[in-house]
Structure 1
């Protein structure tokens, strides 16, 4: 089977996109053959502003229903594939929107939010992010993890500190994920994960999505799609072929002000990091170039079945389990 047929036929899932949501972006998703994508609708926002973001996303999905559909289940992912659309999986990059109310976990699940990152870079009521001293999972955090397990929301640990991450992994009765990360073994960075952390999450049934955000990659803004495949292979050799997928962290469409908002605590307070120039790897600089990744994996020597797992089948299996469909 040729590459184009493999890509066209495969389930293709991006486990983290934080782009500027509009029709142009959805058209690029379709050009890239994305079956579904985890789309960030909350980072620093509280409850009300997050509800507003979800309302805006609902309207955008309705207005572009020829291109996209809303995902609440893996059956919706299958329906997106069958109908030539891209499924929008709404997700948070911070549990801040839960505020101090456990009931909000189910409220947001009912609104269609199936993936929530426990912290975004800094401390919240649940635990600690990767850019400050890590105090671990709070008592309230343990309750939030249990409630996410109960209603079927995936715990994401990509921007979470190592101690909090370890305690979420041990606390959760369901698989958890680093939805978009890279290995410290290729570049030391607070956002990257050590070999021991990658092995620990995999040994406890967890899942790793590999990002291509170049500030965290070995060759920075000079990175290529081959560097990304190298990172995938590095993590694959630690976690195994059933615990790995894609989580690009694509930010296309956003400008300077957006990155300033992301890189300050709470969106406005102290500066946490500075990314510098944002350039995606040569060969896959937009979501529309996703077929190039399938080609690169096959060219690297990955088998067709393994390539299909990495491109999306593994994500579907994990989501089916966490979303209580098994």
Structure 2
């Protein structure tokens, strides 16, 4: 376990129920930092409330947590034996129709924002709808996110909107939590062409383990997760790949009903069925098993260190600046 303990370990996306037990599990799992979702469907005001609550938790649990604004904050968290909390959104809904809110959120510490969550908003289209591409407002949003140092996330974004966003952004963008369609066809998974396109344009890919998107679904193990990472690494190389589990720890069915709603009252986009994370990494605290599985798959130490967190650290630096 010394390799895991010595490495910088960054989870590119967690949307767990933010409470002490989850944060303790992050420490148990050896997480140096994680992109933690504080907004999906909330507007500006409710998202500010969520950020205030998260910052209060970081203060209350300052023995194990710290707020991340810079890559140096991540390195400091590692030195201090804490987990750095990166504030992230899974939808730009909270920007509403006001470009000025983007800098306001950056000032609050937000560092990653996904443009759309499954469906269409003012910026572009999600992956479950006919994709009309990036709007004019969306282009202005990306320019402002580039300016203030917020990373553009495209995980749940439609293919056409994603391609236009990749071309529009002057800084690296990410699929923070995705899987390859080459292993399983699903609207949320990315084709070989899409994965190559983001990588060829300086972007970054975080690989998820959300069971409905994995080849073997709820039968999957941590080894299947590593297989999916290797599939993508074989396409794009090991320097632009990390992991983003999409842990939903602590949530019940009501949460999934809420996040998968559609426009139009009571409409649902999708039904995920049973959510059971891969055997061996069912909880955040089992993250060290990911390193063991990488070693078992024959990965060298350098490759493991890069995918565990060093790649994320580098690309965050390119987006966030000093």
Settle same-fold status: TM greater than 0.5: yes
Is 1:220 equivalent to 2:226 in the alignment?
no
* Distance in 1 separating the partners of 2:20 and 2:264: 26
Picking from 274, 277, 284, the partner of 2:274 is: 277
Deviation at 1:267, TM superposition (A): 9.9
Determine which of 20, 25, 35 is the counterpart of 2:17: 20
Equivalent position of 1:46 in the other structure = 43
Q: What is residue 256 of structure 2 aligned with on the other side? A: 259
Whether 1:247 aligns to 2:244 is yes
CA contact (8 A) 1:261 1:267 kept: no
Partner of 1:265: helix, strand, or coil?
Answer: coil
- Partners of 1:267 and 1:29 in 2: CA distance: 37
TM-score normalised to structure 1 length? 0.98
Q: Root-mean-square deviation (CA), in Å?
A: 0.9
Select 1:58's aligned residue among 34, 52, 55: 55
Q: Which residue of 1 aligns with 2:312?
A: 315
Q: Structure 1 CA distance, aligned partners of 2:230 and 2:284?
A: 21
The secondary structure found in structure 2 opposite 1:229 is helix
Gaps of 5+ in 2: none
Shift of 1:299: 1.1
Question: Could you tell me which of 198, 206, 225 is aligned with 1:201?
Answer: 198
Q: Structure 1: 5+ residue runs without aligned partners? A: none
Q: Deviations over 1:38-75 (max 9, x none)?
A: 00000000000000000110111111110100100011
In the TM superposition, what whole-angstrom CA distance separates every residue of 1:144-198 from its partner, at most 9, and x where no partner exists?
0000000100000000000000000000000000000000000000000000000
Q: Out of 231, 234, 238, which is 1:237 matched to? A: 234
Distance (whole Å) between structure 2 residues aligned to residue 266 and residue 110 of structure 1: 31
Counterparts in 2 of 1:81-100, with a 5 A limit? 81-100=78-97
Q: When the two structures are superposed, what TM-score results if normalisation uses the length of structure 2?
A: 0.99
Give the one of 6, 23, 30 matched to 1:9: 6
Q: d(CA) in 1 for partners of 2:187 and 2:53?
A: 33
Q: Which residue in the other structure is 1:131 paired with? A: 128
Equivalent pair of 1:44/1:267 in contact (CA under 8 Å): no
Partners of 1:7 and 1:294 within 8 A in 2: yes
2:297 to 276, 279, 300: 300
Match of residue 176 from structure 2: 179
Query: What is the total number of aligned residue pairs between the two structures?
Result: 322
